[in-house]
Amino acid sequence: MARFERPTTIRFSHCDPAGIVFFPQYFVLFNGLVEDWVNEGLGLDYAALLGPRRVGLPTVQIETEFRAISRHGDAVTLGLELLRIGRSSFTLQLDCRAGAQLRVLTRQTLVSTDLDTHRAQALPSDLLAAMNQFQNGADHA
């Protein structure tokens, strides 16, 4: 399965007073990964999609396993795989690893919406084409 990855560093701002990642921060990190994937993995402009094009990509379902802690200063890799493409929705698998150690695993469904009406709409044709191409392509490390 095609995979998009980005290395990142766990920062002070991700951590609680115990010096480990506060769990919602993983969702912020993963949302950044989705932005990078749209921009760099799919070759589209995420800001233009949400801004002038008024296409939202809200999350409707998310399930996460936290397997191991991350600490301030850790070098980790965030990874994304595209599991499913629907009419207006798609499902991603997102993970955070340190070397071979899996720390967090998420399955997340996003829906294309019209940001004026906030109703679901079919995936825009360029997003759909780029996702199909990604699914059939090589890794984007």
Ligand X SMILES: CC(C)(COP(=O)(O)OP(=O)(O)OC[C@H]1O[C@@H](n2cnc3c(N)ncnc32)[C@H](O)[C@@H]1OP(=O)(O)O)[C@@H](O)C(=O)NCCC(=O)NCCSC(=O)c1ccc(O)cc1
Kindly list the residues in this chain that would bind ligand X in the complex (CB under 6 A): 50, 56-61, 86-89, 109, 111, 113, 118-120
Tally of residues, the chain: 141
CB atoms within 10 A of CB 40: 13
CB atoms within 10 A of CB 43: 11
Smallest distance from ligand X to CB 58, Å: 3
The 10 Å Cβ neighbour count of residue 110 is: 19
Taking the complex as a whole, the smallest distance from the CB of residue 77 to ligand X amounts, in Å, to: 22
Q: Closer CB to ligand X, residue 56 or residue 79?
A: 56
Quote the CA–CA distance of 49 and 109 in Å, as a whole number: 18
- Provide the minimum distance between the beta carbon of 57 and ligand X in the complex, in angstroms, as a whole number: 4
Q: Shortest approach of ligand X to residue 73 CB, angstroms?
A: 28
Cβ proximity to ligand X: between 102 and 109 the closer is: 109
Helix (H, G, I), strand (E, B) or coil at 50: helix
Q: Least distance in Å: CB of 62 to ligand X?
A: 9
Strands 55-56 and 113-114, sheet pairing: antiparallel
Are residues 69 and 20 in contact, defined by beta-carbon separation less than 8 angstroms?
yes
H or E stretch covering 32 = helix 24-36
Q: Indicate the residue among 74 and 106 with the shorter CB distance to ligand X.
A: 106
